[in-house]
Chains A and B, each alone.
Chain A
Amino acid sequence: MKKTVLIATLSLSLLISSCATIISGSKQKVNFRSNPAAASIFIDEVEVGKTPFEIKLERKKEHHVMIKLDGYQTYETNLTKKFNAWYIGNILFGGLIGIIIDPITGAIYNLSPDEVNAEMSKGTAFKVNKSDVYIAVALNIDPNWKKVGQLEKLN
Protein backbone atom coordinates (compact mmCIF):
# COMPACT_ATOMS: atom_id res chain seq x y z
CA MET A 1 0.00 0.00 0.00
CA LYS A 2 2.78 2.37 0.99
CA LYS A 3 4.61 1.56 -2.25
CA THR A 4 1.50 2.39 -4.27
CA VAL A 5 1.16 5.72 -2.52
CA LEU A 6 4.86 6.45 -3.08
CA ILE A 7 4.70 5.55 -6.78
CA ALA A 8 1.52 7.57 -7.22
CA THR A 9 3.08 10.58 -5.48
CA LEU A 10 6.26 10.34 -7.55
CA SER A 11 4.34 9.97 -10.80
CA LEU A 12 2.13 12.91 -9.87
CA SER A 13 5.12 15.12 -9.05
CA LEU A 14 6.70 14.22 -12.38
CA LEU A 15 3.46 14.89 -14.20
CA ILE A 16 2.81 18.23 -12.61
CA SER A 17 6.34 19.52 -12.97
CA SER A 18 6.43 22.11 -15.78
CA CYS A 19 2.67 22.45 -15.38
CA ALA A 20 2.08 25.16 -17.98
CA THR A 21 4.39 23.56 -20.57
CA ILE A 22 2.55 20.24 -20.29
CA ILE A 23 -0.95 21.72 -20.22
CA SER A 24 -0.58 24.64 -22.65
CA GLY A 25 2.55 23.88 -24.70
CA SER A 26 5.13 26.37 -25.86
CA LYS A 27 3.02 27.51 -28.82
CA GLN A 28 -0.49 28.88 -29.02
CA LYS A 29 -2.99 28.49 -31.82
CA VAL A 30 -4.18 31.79 -33.31
CA ASN A 31 -7.13 31.87 -35.72
CA PHE A 32 -7.78 34.74 -38.10
CA ARG A 33 -11.06 35.51 -39.86
CA SER A 34 -11.95 38.61 -41.82
CA ASN A 35 -14.89 40.06 -43.65
CA PRO A 36 -14.29 40.17 -46.57
CA ALA A 37 -12.11 37.07 -46.62
CA ALA A 38 -8.81 36.52 -48.47
CA ALA A 39 -7.06 39.39 -46.68
CA SER A 40 -3.30 38.96 -46.28
CA ILE A 41 -2.02 38.32 -42.78
CA PHE A 42 1.37 39.67 -41.78
CA ILE A 43 2.98 38.54 -38.56
CA ASP A 44 6.00 40.61 -37.58
CA GLU A 45 5.84 41.98 -41.15
CA VAL A 46 6.14 38.53 -42.74
CA GLU A 47 3.21 37.44 -44.90
CA VAL A 48 2.03 34.10 -43.54
CA GLY A 49 -1.27 33.50 -45.33
CA LYS A 50 -4.74 34.73 -46.20
CA THR A 51 -7.88 34.71 -44.09
CA PRO A 52 -9.37 32.40 -42.91
CA PHE A 53 -6.12 31.18 -41.44
CA GLU A 54 -4.71 29.41 -38.43
CA ILE A 55 -1.15 29.47 -37.14
CA LYS A 56 0.72 28.36 -34.04
CA LEU A 57 2.82 31.13 -32.53
CA GLU A 58 5.46 31.01 -29.85
CA ARG A 59 4.13 32.13 -26.49
CA LYS A 60 7.40 33.66 -25.31
CA LYS A 61 7.34 36.36 -28.02
CA GLU A 62 5.11 39.32 -28.64
CA HIS A 63 3.82 39.45 -32.20
CA HIS A 64 2.73 42.34 -34.37
CA VAL A 65 -0.23 41.44 -36.59
CA MET A 66 -1.45 43.26 -39.70
CA ILE A 67 -4.41 42.25 -41.85
CA LYS A 68 -4.29 43.91 -45.27
CA LEU A 69 -6.67 43.89 -48.21
CA ASP A 70 -6.66 46.23 -51.18
CA GLY A 71 -9.39 48.84 -50.86
CA TYR A 72 -9.73 48.36 -47.10
CA GLN A 73 -8.05 49.98 -44.15
CA THR A 74 -5.24 47.90 -42.73
CA TYR A 75 -6.08 46.32 -39.40
CA GLU A 76 -3.32 46.15 -36.78
CA THR A 77 -3.05 44.49 -33.43
CA ASN A 78 -0.34 43.25 -31.09
CA LEU A 79 -0.41 39.82 -29.54
CA THR A 80 1.04 40.49 -26.13
CA LYS A 81 2.15 38.10 -23.43
CA LYS A 82 -0.16 37.63 -20.45
CA PHE A 83 0.45 35.44 -17.43
CA ASN A 84 -0.71 31.84 -17.87
CA ALA A 85 -2.41 30.71 -14.66
CA TRP A 86 -1.25 27.12 -15.20
CA TYR A 87 2.15 28.31 -13.97
CA ILE A 88 0.71 28.57 -10.47
CA GLY A 89 0.30 24.79 -10.63
CA ASN A 90 4.08 24.54 -10.12
CA ILE A 91 3.88 26.53 -6.92
CA LEU A 92 0.77 24.80 -5.60
CA PHE A 93 1.97 21.28 -6.31
CA GLY A 94 5.67 21.82 -5.80
CA GLY A 95 6.78 21.29 -9.38
CA LEU A 96 10.11 23.05 -8.85
CA ILE A 97 11.42 22.07 -12.28
CA GLY A 98 8.40 23.73 -13.82
CA ILE A 99 9.22 27.06 -12.17
CA ILE A 100 12.35 27.09 -14.35
CA ILE A 101 11.11 25.21 -17.43
CA ASP A 102 7.84 27.11 -18.03
CA PRO A 103 9.53 30.53 -18.46
CA ILE A 104 12.14 28.96 -20.78
CA THR A 105 9.55 27.34 -23.06
CA GLY A 106 7.32 30.42 -22.83
CA ALA A 107 4.41 28.38 -21.46
CA ILE A 108 4.26 30.85 -18.56
CA TYR A 109 2.49 33.18 -21.02
CA ASN A 110 -0.76 33.28 -22.93
CA LEU A 111 -0.94 35.42 -26.04
CA SER A 112 -3.66 38.02 -25.96
CA PRO A 113 -4.58 40.63 -28.59
CA ASP A 114 -4.36 44.35 -27.85
CA GLU A 115 -5.87 46.90 -30.20
CA VAL A 116 -3.34 49.21 -31.79
CA ASN A 117 -5.83 51.49 -33.48
CA ALA A 118 -9.06 52.02 -31.56
CA GLU A 119 -10.81 53.45 -34.61
CA MET A 120 -10.78 50.04 -36.19
CA SER A 121 -12.51 48.32 -33.31
CA LYS A 122 -15.95 48.29 -34.97
CA GLY A 123 -16.89 44.81 -36.08
CA THR A 124 -13.76 43.33 -34.53
CA ALA A 125 -14.01 40.43 -32.16
CA PHE A 126 -11.44 38.70 -30.03
CA LYS A 127 -11.97 35.50 -28.20
CA VAL A 128 -9.31 33.94 -26.04
CA ASN A 129 -10.11 30.56 -24.60
CA LYS A 130 -7.87 28.18 -22.67
CA SER A 131 -5.54 27.45 -25.55
CA ASP A 132 -6.58 29.38 -28.64
CA VAL A 133 -6.97 32.98 -29.75
CA TYR A 134 -9.63 33.93 -32.29
CA ILE A 135 -9.42 37.24 -34.15
CA ALA A 136 -12.35 38.14 -36.39
CA VAL A 137 -12.11 41.44 -38.22
CA ALA A 138 -14.65 43.35 -40.30
CA LEU A 139 -12.40 45.44 -42.52
CA ASN A 140 -13.46 49.03 -43.13
CA ILE A 141 -13.49 50.37 -46.68
CA ASP A 142 -10.56 52.67 -47.38
CA PRO A 143 -12.07 56.19 -47.63
CA ASN A 144 -9.40 57.12 -50.19
CA TRP A 145 -10.94 54.70 -52.67
CA LYS A 146 -13.71 56.08 -54.84
CA LYS A 147 -16.80 53.99 -55.53
CA VAL A 148 -17.27 53.73 -59.30
CA GLY A 149 -20.05 51.14 -59.53
CA GLN A 150 -22.10 48.46 -57.84
CA LEU A 151 -22.63 44.86 -58.92
CA GLU A 152 -26.29 43.96 -59.32
CA LYS A 153 -27.75 40.54 -58.54
CA LEU A 154 -29.24 38.85 -61.60
CA ASN A 155 -32.81 37.54 -61.28
Chain B
Amino acid sequence: MKKALLALFSLLLFSCSPKITTSFETTAKALTIEDKVAFLDLHHAVPEGAKKIGNAHFQDSGFSTDCDFNSNLIKARKIAREKGANIIKVTEKKTPDLWSSCYRIKVDFYFSEKDVTKIPQYQLQIN
Protein backbone atom coordinates (compact mmCIF):
# COMPACT_ATOMS: atom_id res chain seq x y z
CA MET B 1 0.00 0.00 0.00
CA LYS B 2 2.79 2.38 1.00
CA LYS B 3 4.65 1.56 -2.21
CA ALA B 4 1.55 2.19 -4.32
CA LEU B 5 0.99 5.56 -2.63
CA LEU B 6 4.65 6.46 -3.14
CA ALA B 7 4.44 5.50 -6.82
CA LEU B 8 1.27 7.58 -7.26
CA PHE B 9 2.88 10.52 -5.48
CA SER B 10 5.99 10.30 -7.71
CA LEU B 11 3.84 10.07 -10.84
CA LEU B 12 1.86 13.13 -9.84
CA LEU B 13 5.00 15.05 -9.00
CA PHE B 14 7.12 14.26 -12.02
CA SER B 15 4.84 13.21 -14.87
CA CYS B 16 3.22 16.51 -15.76
CA SER B 17 4.99 17.04 -19.09
CA PRO B 18 3.47 15.76 -22.33
CA LYS B 19 4.93 12.75 -24.13
CA ILE B 20 7.15 14.10 -26.91
CA THR B 21 8.32 11.96 -29.83
CA THR B 22 10.85 13.54 -32.17
CA SER B 23 12.41 12.50 -35.45
CA PHE B 24 15.20 14.37 -37.23
CA GLU B 25 16.62 13.57 -40.66
CA THR B 26 19.41 16.06 -40.22
CA THR B 27 20.54 18.59 -37.64
CA ALA B 28 22.13 21.98 -38.11
CA LYS B 29 24.21 24.15 -35.81
CA ALA B 30 22.35 24.82 -32.56
CA LEU B 31 20.76 28.26 -32.32
CA THR B 32 21.35 30.73 -29.51
CA ILE B 33 18.73 32.46 -27.39
CA GLU B 34 19.24 35.55 -29.57
CA ASP B 35 18.17 33.64 -32.71
CA LYS B 36 14.44 34.03 -33.28
CA VAL B 37 12.20 31.04 -33.84
CA ALA B 38 8.87 31.50 -35.65
CA PHE B 39 5.70 29.58 -34.79
CA LEU B 40 3.49 28.84 -37.77
CA ASP B 41 -0.04 27.72 -36.95
CA LEU B 42 -2.13 25.52 -39.24
CA HIS B 43 -3.13 28.43 -41.50
CA HIS B 44 0.35 29.96 -41.77
CA ALA B 45 2.46 29.06 -44.79
CA VAL B 46 6.06 27.89 -44.60
CA PRO B 47 8.26 30.38 -46.49
CA GLU B 48 9.77 29.24 -49.77
CA GLY B 49 13.23 27.79 -49.53
CA ALA B 50 12.86 26.62 -45.91
CA LYS B 51 14.43 23.22 -45.37
CA LYS B 52 12.60 20.62 -43.30
CA ILE B 53 14.87 18.99 -40.76
CA GLY B 54 12.52 17.01 -38.55
CA ASN B 55 9.22 16.67 -36.75
CA ALA B 56 7.74 16.10 -33.31
CA HIS B 57 4.53 14.72 -31.85
CA PHE B 58 3.17 16.02 -28.53
CA GLN B 59 0.82 13.58 -26.79
CA ASP B 60 -0.87 13.22 -23.43
CA SER B 61 1.18 10.92 -21.23
CA GLY B 62 -1.91 10.26 -19.12
CA PHE B 63 -0.62 12.39 -16.27
CA SER B 64 0.23 15.49 -18.30
CA THR B 65 -0.86 18.83 -16.88
CA ASP B 66 1.59 21.25 -18.50
CA CYS B 67 0.37 20.56 -22.01
CA ASP B 68 -1.55 23.56 -23.31
CA PHE B 69 -0.84 24.89 -26.81
CA ASN B 70 1.66 27.56 -25.69
CA SER B 71 3.51 25.18 -23.36
CA ASN B 72 3.88 22.66 -26.16
CA LEU B 73 5.21 25.37 -28.48
CA ILE B 74 7.71 26.56 -25.84
CA LYS B 75 8.96 22.96 -25.52
CA ALA B 76 9.09 22.67 -29.31
CA ARG B 77 11.15 25.86 -29.50
CA LYS B 78 13.71 24.40 -27.08
CA ILE B 79 14.03 21.31 -29.29
CA ALA B 80 14.19 23.50 -32.43
CA ARG B 81 17.08 25.57 -31.05
CA GLU B 82 19.03 22.44 -30.09
CA LYS B 83 18.58 20.99 -33.58
CA GLY B 84 19.18 24.24 -35.45
CA ALA B 85 15.63 24.92 -36.66
CA ASN B 86 14.17 28.43 -36.73
CA ILE B 87 10.63 27.64 -37.89
CA ILE B 88 8.09 25.45 -36.11
CA LYS B 89 5.10 24.61 -38.27
CA VAL B 90 2.03 23.09 -36.63
CA THR B 91 0.73 20.39 -38.98
CA GLU B 92 -1.94 18.80 -36.80
CA LYS B 93 -3.78 20.16 -33.75
CA LYS B 94 -6.25 18.37 -31.48
CA THR B 95 -7.87 20.62 -28.90
CA PRO B 96 -8.66 19.34 -25.36
CA ASP B 97 -11.75 17.15 -25.28
CA LEU B 98 -13.49 14.48 -23.24
CA TRP B 99 -10.53 12.10 -23.60
CA SER B 100 -7.70 14.46 -22.85
CA SER B 101 -7.22 17.85 -21.23
CA CYS B 102 -4.12 18.37 -23.39
CA TYR B 103 -3.48 19.94 -26.74
CA ARG B 104 -2.06 17.14 -28.90
CA ILE B 105 -0.06 18.56 -31.75
CA LYS B 106 2.28 17.51 -34.54
CA VAL B 107 4.92 19.96 -35.68
CA ASP B 108 7.54 20.10 -38.41
CA PHE B 109 10.88 21.82 -37.88
CA TYR B 110 12.39 23.94 -40.65
CA PHE B 111 15.46 26.06 -41.14
CA SER B 112 15.22 29.20 -43.24
CA GLU B 113 18.03 31.58 -44.18
CA LYS B 114 15.49 34.43 -44.23
CA ASP B 115 14.65 36.71 -41.28
CA VAL B 116 11.88 34.68 -39.63
CA THR B 117 10.56 37.65 -37.64
CA LYS B 118 9.15 39.08 -40.89
CA ILE B 119 6.94 36.12 -41.81
CA PRO B 120 3.27 35.97 -40.66
CA GLN B 121 3.23 33.82 -37.54
CA TYR B 122 1.50 32.82 -34.31
CA GLN B 123 2.27 35.07 -31.35
CA LEU B 124 2.96 33.20 -28.16
CA GLN B 125 0.73 34.09 -25.20
CA ILE B 126 1.82 34.22 -21.57
CA ASN B 127 -0.91 32.84 -19.24
Task: Answer whether residue B30 sits at the interface, using C-beta atoms and an 8 A cutoff.
Answer: no
Question: Contact: A46 with B126, CB < 8 Å?
Answer: yes
Chain B residues with CB under 8 Å of A56's CB are 127
Task: Answer whether residue A103 sits at the interface, using C-beta atoms and an 8 A cutoff.
Answer: yes
Using an 8 Å CB-CB cutoff, how does the interface string of B93-127 with A read, 1 for contact, 0 for none? 00000000000000000000000000000011111
Which residue of chain B has the shortest Cβ distance to A102 in the bound complex? B12
Tell me the complex Cα distance, A65–B49, Å: 33
Task: Answer whether residue B71 sits at the interface, using C-beta atoms and an 8 A cutoff.
Answer: yes
Q: How far is the CB of A14 from chain B (nearest CB, A)?
A: 21
Which residue of chain A has the shortest Cβ distance to B11 in the bound complex? A103
Chain B residues with CB under 8 Å of A46's CB are 123-126
Q: How far is the CB of A62 from chain B (nearest CB, A)?
A: 9
Task: Answer whether residue A7 sits at the interface, using C-beta atoms and an 8 A cutoff.
Answer: no
Tell me the complex Cα distance, A5–B123, Å: 54
Task: Answer whether residue B4 sits at the interface, using C-beta atoms and an 8 A cutoff.
Answer: no
Q: How far is the CB of A91 from chain B (nearest CB, A)?
A: 9
Task: Answer whether residue A132 sits at the interface, using C-beta atoms and an 8 A cutoff.
Answer: no
Interface centre among A48, A61, A83, by most chain B C-beta atoms within 10 angstroms, is: A61
Question: Contact: B74 with A44, CB < 8 Å?
Answer: yes
Q: How far is the CB of B121 from chain A (nearest CB, A)?
A: 13
Question: Contact: B127 with A100, CB < 8 Å?
Answer: no
Task: Answer whether residue A69 sits at the interface, using C-beta atoms and an 8 A cutoff.
Answer: no
Question: Contact: A58 with B127, CB < 8 Å?
Answer: yes
Chain B residues with CB under 8 Å of A66's CB are 33
Which residue of chain A has the shortest Cβ distance to B12 in the bound complex? A103
Question: Contact: B12 with A61, CB < 8 Å?
Answer: no
Using an 8 Å CB-CB cutoff, how does the interface string of A113-149 with B read, 1 for contact, 0 for none? 0000000000000000000000000000000000000
Q: What residues make up the interface of A, taking CB atoms closer than 8 Å to B?
A: 27, 43-46, 48, 55-58, 60-61, 66, 76, 83, 99-100, 103-104, 106, 108
7 other contacts beyond A56-B127, A57-B126, A60-B66, with CB at 8 A cut-off?
A48-B126, A61-B71, A99-B8, A103-B65, A104-B65, A106-B65, A108-B13
